[in-house]
Structure 1
């Protein structure tokens, strides 16, 4: 549930950044229309974080439908939201900035986690949005009506088999996205859609209070995974032969246990993102080969004493190619010396 909404917000953040420069427009092809689409995408990335809105959001994936009540506001430069599951097991998530509280009433558990404001995606904004135009066609499909509101339908179509497509309906007045489809060809892999939505001028503080009496619940606190300041070792892994359009966005070392360290690399094409995890073999149960969960694909293998795992909301061919082309620099040099 929460992964879905996070992906929803994240996608519009990335698309908005990519839309800051002229995008392709198959309907008209003129500069004014392209600028209009760019402005619309950029505004959507901001509005989804800074507008006040309340509504009911449905999430469809693998023929399973989840329904959420969403309450969101931006006050005193702090983003807050509350998500309440209306289907399946009772669940509730309350977020204030980087602090996230998850309530599981059936288990009588409260999970509290904290996330640093600057995540691995923070530097994506520094990249040139021209990469998006190289990998996708962007089309303005005109006006559509949803939840008694008028929106503009934008389609982002991949140019090759290494990425999915997207179709989004953006509210004309507020620029908040009303609907998002994740596409593989003409098939909808995942869909998020507001069936009800309002835009109040203000949202009361009490709207972000838990809806359950959590007295006596077991509280579990998870600290954010620490990002080490130390540089990546010179004798390290490097990416080669990446899928077209993808570039390395972030590269760092994370401490996941007291003595366990994992190198994490983030790749992006301006819209889609893929994470690669490089860890000592045996640190966790290894993933061998390919696995799929909905639109998310992963591929893992062990190379010597190292476990490599690559995961992302991209086609299987993309994670496999990245995982298969992470090369240890010292081994690559040794191989070259033998030639």
Structure 2
């Protein structure tokens, strides 16, 4: 067969090359779409990913450094975690005043700037790694909407993004970056209803599976100091209750602040992810009653309400509407 004239041959080559250029662009775009698509995991997998996250954060050994953005500042911290049945962990500040928190067994000990150590109760699900919700046994129901987002890379690890969005204005949401293989949280952000980031932490260096040494889990200072408990068992039924709880919140227990009068109570409420503390204490009769006021420290809100003889303080990582509703509906179960 006779060769094509040069003009026709060039035209065919241009068409041929144009086809592959267009095809290459199409396949490249398709590949990028698939890589970023949330369809890599079914929406129903979000619950499973969160369950695996809660297990990983308790059972894995890991150590690393992370930054924590909150209340208009950025702190650098380092954490050592020994997982398993005898879970232990230690959190150290790398910037600002020297401080550390050690969790072992049923206690959390706080050490700061050479001040006396403070012993805090170790609530079930408490974590030293910030902004990590405890999702064990939580069905979410009508309170939160779960969604699996795309992929990202954090501290050198590939991560899957999971969104936990509130269905109402009584709670905040989470965006979580979970390590692809172990599901350990690499980054977490608390977001408002407009999906704006309010607080976040992110690992910048992490070694998953590296077991901490004993010295990594032991307080570096004030080791001979006996910590004073911040709270004591109530020893009786609560005298107070929140009469108008926001949807989904339930009573989780009560204690007594150790340094307050016996009539003072600390009531705890939770919706499974968000926790709220309600403190009821007698007012000094010589101090005039104060107007209600709201303080914000990052996502932590503190709402104060006086009832005359009693001062009520409600605090938690929840919006103001939640704190105010709870503070204004505290009622006596029996006459104090």
**TM-score over 0.5 (shorter chain):** yes
Q: Larger radius of gyration, structure 1 or 2? A: 2
Q: 1:256 aligns with which of 258, 282, 289?
A: 258
Change (3 A) 1:120 1:282: farther
1:38-117 alignment runs, 5 A limit? 38-74=47-83, 77-104=85-112, 107-109=113-115, 111-113=117-119, 115=121
1:166-315 alignment runs, 5 A limit? 166-184=174-192, 185-211=194-220, 219=225, 221-232=227-238, 236-243=239-246, 245-254=247-256, 256-257=258-259, 259-282=261-284, 288-315=292-319
2-structure distance, mates of 1:126, 1:146: 22
SS for the counterpart of 1:134 is: coil
CA contact (8 A) 1:256 1:262 kept: no
Change (3 A) 1:89 1:150: same
How many matched pairs?
290
Deviation at 1:119, TM superposition (A): 8.7
Q: Which residue of 2 aligns with 1:6?
A: none
- The answer for unaligned runs of 5 or more in structure 1 is 1-26, 332-339
1-structure distance, mates of 2:116, 2:60: 28
SS for the counterpart of 1:133 is: coil
SS for the counterpart of 1:291 is: strand
CA contact (8 A) 1:251 1:263 kept: no
2-structure distance, mates of 1:125, 1:63: 25
Root-mean-square deviation (CA), in Å?
Answer: 3.4
Instruction: Give CA-to-partner distance per residue, 1:18-43, whole Å, 9 cap, x none.
Output: xxxxxxxxx67xxx934422121011
Change (3 A) 1:40 1:108: same
CA contact (8 A) 1:101 1:110 kept: no
CA contact (8 A) 1:116 1:224 kept: no
2-structure distance, mates of 1:114, 1:250: 17
Q: Which residue of 1 aligns with 2:152?
A: 144
TM norm structure 2: 0.74
CA contact (8 A) 1:100 1:114 kept: yes
1-structure distance, mates of 2:160, 2:43: 14
- The answer for unaligned runs of 5 or more in structure 2 is 1-37, 128-132
Instruction: Give CA-to-partner distance per residue, 1:135-176, whole Å, 9 cap, x none.
Output: 221110022211111111001112222211210101121121
Change (3 A) 1:177 1:304: same
Judge which range, 264-273 or 305-314, deviates more: 264-273
